[in-house]
Amino acid sequence: MASKRSVKPAGKIRNARGLVFQSVIQRVVKQIAKRFQPDKIILFGSYARGCARSESDVDLLVVMRARNEIDQ
């Protein structure tokens, strides 16, 4: 079940052109990795293609093994 707690970066997250700072994306990825230990975190969409605009969101795919009673 997904956590309802959101990651809130401290300070400014967008540059003068309205794009999310790369350092903010990296910090969020590190926080996800530390908290959930996923197999992969994949950046996709306009930021991955290098064509993000001010209205673009950041698309992250978090890949994890399914948890079941055998894993516990």
Mean pLDDT by 10 residues, the chain (72 residues): 57 88 96 96 97 96 83 56
Q: Is 45 left (phi over 0), alpha (psi -120 to 50) or beta?
A: left
Instruction: Quote the tokens at residue 44.
Output: 């996709």
Please give the pLDDT value at position 66. Answer: 84
- Predicted TM-score (pTM) of the model is 0.74
H/E segment holding residue 32: helix 22-36
